[in-house]
Amino acid sequence: MTSLRVRAAAAFTIAACLLAGCSNSSDSGSGDGGSEAGGTYTIWDPYPQFDATSDWVKLLTKCGTDAGVTVERTGYDTTDLTNKALLAAQQDNSPDVLIVDNPVVSTLADAGVLTTTDELKVDTSAVEPNLLAAGQIGGKTYGIPIGANTLALYYNKAVLDKAGVDPASIKDWAGLTAALEKVKATGKKGITFSAIGTEEGSFQFLPWFWGSGADLTQLDSPQGVAALALWTDWLKKGYAPNSVLNNTQTTSWQEFATGDFAFSENGTWQLANAKKTGFEYGIIPIPSQAGGTAPAPTGGEFVTAPVQSTTDRYAVTEKLISCLSSSDNAYTTDTTLSYIAATEAVQQKQVTENAELKVWVDAVKAAKGRTSDDLGTKYPKISQPMWTAFQAALSGSKSPQQALTDAQTTAAAATK
């Protein structure tokens, strides 16, 4: 276990960089018992908002009962959970099941904290490949997604009607920019988003970056520069407010909720709030530059199994994970968390029950993980220079080209 402890300690330095603002005690480790015949199994999750009376905790308890064991669950804040998971690994005191934000999986896997799904014998065959990819590093899979959220464009129907804009006609960047121009001409505001200098800002920039055809390994490609020029031009022309430089996804949503904006780039987690705005709204996919749906980053958690000092616990752990990710349970959980399911069968059930989710299912199908393409722990070393670049360009201190050229130099040095 010495090697694992050293690697887990080293992982502390990058864990904080991976925490996006797109998903919302007792320090018990692997507990007693240790065999299939009873015992206590521990589960840590990032949902402290759910108490023992919630459907989520009731599901955890039921999965334990079905497996013949007692489940001891602790909910942590997302940031706290990552640090506690790394510390527990150093102390050989990891929980049996760990549910973490998807970009953190590569950090924990690289630190030697997680088992693979092959070792645990977890069936991932039904999971959508683009969602599973967020948990894959070096050809191995380290967990199964509990569901996913992503980004799209909410719109205010009254604002667009006044501007004579049909949202269904917006298929590419040119169409969106033309719509923003018409909205501004009516005295209303165009689009709000989060360009804050954190991972949250990178999360919101990626649909435009990827939608240009750019790749994270070359930030200053012509495609990447075009994506940043799009955002920069919107600010220069008054189509987007300067407040985006400091906006979180929450404050950006609050701007949209005033009723003054035509569009808001935001996620599935705002659906309940959208119903409270008091105005008629709709949702369209984020368009790519040339047309079609842009790949947006996936949010959401993976159900993983930390390494234990003895493997005789893994059979029960597999039962717990299979229970949590089963079709019936996944539907209930994803509804509770405002997530889109990770399998096509459950996605279809979600759309049947709520047609409004169709646009989100389509967005998730086009989405990709931030650590996908085998970037793994290189991603945060690229993301930080990227958010530094768009902050510089949007504030006017650098041109999009210069900002991304500098960012690429920094990223290349950090990922050697």
* Mean of pLDDT values over 44-64: 95
End-to-end CA distance of the chain: 28
Least confident of 6-20, 44-58, 180-194: 6-20
Contact present, 51 and 19 (Cβ < 8 Å)? no
23 pLDDT band, cuts 50/70/90, is very low
Residue 249's pLDDT is 96
Helices H, strands E: what count in the chain?
18, 11
Q: What is the pLDDT of residues 229-264, one digit of tens each?
A: 999 999 999 999 999 999 999 999 999 999 999 999
- Residue 21: is its pLDDT beyond 50? no
Whole-number Å distance between alpha carbons of 242 and 238? 8
Q: What is the pLDDT of residues 389-408, one digit of tens each?
A: 999 999 999 999 999 999 99
DSSP H helical segments within 169-313, as ranges?
173-185, 199-211, 222-236, 249-257, 271-274
In the chain, what are the domains?
Answer: 2-148+299-366 (3.40.190.10), 151-296+375-414 (3.40.190.10)
Look at residues 307, 394, 390 and name the one whose alpha carbon lies nearest to residue 407.
390
pTM of the model: 0.88
Cα angle 204, 296, 164; round to 5: 80
Look at residues 146, 82, 116, 57 and name the one whose alpha carbon lies nearest to residue 317.
116
The token duo for 301 is: 């958690």
Contact present, 109 and 119 (Cβ < 8 Å)? no
Q: What is the pLDDT of residues 323-370, one digit of tens each?
A: 999 999 999 999 888 899 999 999 999 999 999 999 999 999 999 999
